[in-house]
Amino acid sequence: MAVVAVESRFGVPPTIGRAMSLPPAAPSQAPVEPPGEATAVPAPRFLADIYEDVSRCNKCSLCQAVCPTYQVNPVEWETARGRVALIRDAMEGRLELREIADGPLSTCLTCDNCMAACPPRVPTAAIVARARQELHEQEGYPRGQRWLLRRVLPRPGGTRTLHRLSRAAQVTGLHAAARGLRITRWMGTVGGMAERIGPLPRRRADQRVAGLPAVTPPVRGRLGFLICCYQNLVAPEATEAAMRVLLANGFELEAPELGCFGLPAQSLGDGPAVQEMAKRTVTGLAGLGVGSVRGAGDGRTVQGAAGSAVDGLVGDVASCVGHVRRYGRILGDDPALGDAARRVAGATDLASVHLERAGWRAPLGPLTWHVTIDEPCSLPIDGPERGVARALLARIPELRITPLQEAAMCCGGPGSYATGQPEHSDAILARKFENVVATGADVLVTENVSCLVQLRVGARRHAPQVRVMHLMEVLDAAVRAAGKGPAA
């Protein structure tokens, strides 16, 4: 299949000329069943739990217009319709999952943007994630991935060890030497992520807790703060800003020591790791007494073993929060933790959403900035959460906000996608920055760590004049500017 590439203003082809061999179409002279006789629906060989969802696709093609991968590589298997049809073919025995592993299963961003245009609301991201899981169960899990997802990330000390090793490589010059000699390009996903992220900050977010200010009285509640393991390493300043904003608005915080919440395992299709991480998280939160009556606090932010009960749980990473909110489905059938998982899921919210619902209280100073907002695709489709960032930013005096075209379109950077699918990721990112530059904004705002990392890469390449900031960093700057004049 020939695909014509059209040059973008950044010189990056938005289309990727890549063909794929698929099973032959049915013969045109296929027998027609007699009137009144219906062909029996074939029973799925596997993935029976999602067969009904797969069968809901009506092949209307509305997903084409909103699918980021189809926009840069317009072939049928890049659409939700094409991916779902191929997965159904595998379930019904017309092909094997391994035949569509490279392409239909690997290039999907699992962003669910297709659901916004899908009349029957086919959950393509969940279908693709389950198909990846089934593929691993049939073909085996990659050894390195299995070690990372089952041995390192579930444990609170795992990411701390990764941080120490990375910092040691930076201090000794090994990191710079590896990049200079292009050794990182031979290190697969880990090396690719090291290239994109660059040197890690010296102090993690969990190390910054002790230096946070006291809560601003009167105290309105006590919250458990969920620190994302990835943002803890690569953008701790964003998490620190989120905690400062919540404290300034009268909320005491407790930051329990937890491992990864399980989203990377979900995206990569490691079902056992998803379950294990969810169990560890729910168990680790048991001491917080989620849903219990709040105990008296002393206004300090506490890290470590849980003390008094909290009124709820908040996080500042949209994708992680969204994943924890699915714990009720992930562990719902677990006889020991099912009820606790549902309580945790129901008590968890994005920090910005919690602040908007509870009501903003902290004074805000002026910011003479021009901003535009990129919506993380992990926010609920068509939900009110998508308007929260703008509503909060609109409170800041002198801040100018310009809408971003295709703000809900994925930036091409979830998890390890940018290193696993670099051509797709780079083309999607170039399209995103076409729209960012068109706004004329000097600050690009998001509230998801993968977006933060990806968009900072995009800014370095395409718009070095644009600062990429977490929503909470902007709000924290306005809190700090209160009574001090405009922030630079």
CA 100 vs CA 117, 135, 209: distances in Å: 24, 10, 46
Q: What DSSP designation does 253 have?
A: E
Q: Work out the burial of residue 347: count CB atoms within 10 Å of its CB; fewer than 13 is exposed, 13-18 middle, 19 or more buried.
A: buried
Ramachandran assignment for 218, one of left (phi > 0), alpha (psi -120 to 50 degrees), beta (any other):
beta
Q: Among residues 219, 213, 210, 184, which one has the least CA distance to residue 198?
A: 184
Residues 3-29 pLDDT 10s: 333 344 344 444 344 434 444 444 444
Query: What 3-state DSSP class applies to 221?
Result: strand
Q: Among residues 409, 382, 266, 243, which one has the least CA distance to residue 324?
A: 266
Tokens of 207: 């190390």
Q: How far apart are CA 168 and CA 182, in angstroms?
A: 19
CA 449 vs CA 238, 297, 303, 392: distances in Å: 9, 30, 21, 19
What confidence score (pLDDT) does residue 156 get? 86
Q: What mean pLDDT comes out for the span 442-450?
A: 97
Is it the case that residue 488 has pLDDT exceeding 60? Answer: no
Residue 189: which pLDDT band, with cuts at 50, 70 and 90? low
What confidence score (pLDDT) does residue 198 get? 67
Q: Among residues 243, 208, 215, 226, which one has the least CA distance to residue 470?
A: 243
Contact 295, 308 (CB under 8 A): yes
Is it the case that residue 467 has pLDDT exceeding 60? Answer: yes
* Residue that has been written with the tokens 């994925």 in this structure: 410
Residue type, 408: A
Q: Among residues 321, 387, 392, 386, which one has the least CA distance to residue 356?
A: 392
Q: Among residues 290, 223, 233, which one has the least CA distance to residue 254?
A: 223
Residues 347-374 pLDDT 10s: 999 999 999 999 999 999 999 999 999 9
Residue 291: which pLDDT band, with cuts at 50, 70 and 90? very low
What confidence score (pLDDT) does residue 146 get? 87
Q: What mean pLDDT comes out for the span 99-103?
A: 95
* Residue that has been written with the tokens 């937890």 in this structure: 258
109-145: b or e for each residue (b if 16 or more CB lie within 10 Å)?
A: bbbbbbbebbeeebbbbbbbbbbbbbbbeeeebeeeb
| Cβ-based neighbour number of residue 441 at 10 Å | 22
| Cβ-based neighbour number of residue 45 at 10 Å | 13
Give the chain's mean pLDDT.
Answer: 85
Lowest mean pLDDT across 44-53, 126-135, 192-201: 192-201
Query: What 3-state DSSP class applies to 348?
Result: strand
What confidence score (pLDDT) does residue 208 get? 94
355-373: b or e for each residue (b if 16 or more CB lie within 10 Å)?
A: bbebeeebebbbbebebbb
Q: How far apart are CA 484 and CA 476, in angstroms?
A: 13
Peptide bond into 486 cis (omega under 30): no
Query: What 3-state DSSP class applies to 323?
Result: helix
Residue 415: which pLDDT band, with cuts at 50, 70 and 90? confident
Q: What DSSP designation does 110 have?
A: -
Residues 115-130 pLDDT 10s: 989 999 999 999 999 9
What confidence score (pLDDT) does residue 420 get? 86
Higher pLDDT: 305 or 488? It is 488
**CA atoms 70, 230, 147, 129: torsion sign:** negative
Q: How far apart are CA 163 and CA 247, in angstroms?
A: 27
Strands 443-446 and 370-373: parallel
Contact 18, 424 (CB under 8 A): no
**CA atoms 277, 282, 283, 284: torsion sign:** positive
Q: What mean pLDDT comes out for the span 447-466?
A: 96
Residues 374-400 pLDDT 10s: 999 999 888 899 999 999 999 999 999
What confidence score (pLDDT) does residue 165 get? 75
Residues 234-274 pLDDT 10s: 999 999 999 999 999 999 999 999 999 999 999 888 999 99
Residues 206-227 pLDDT 10s: 999 999 999 999 999 999 999 9
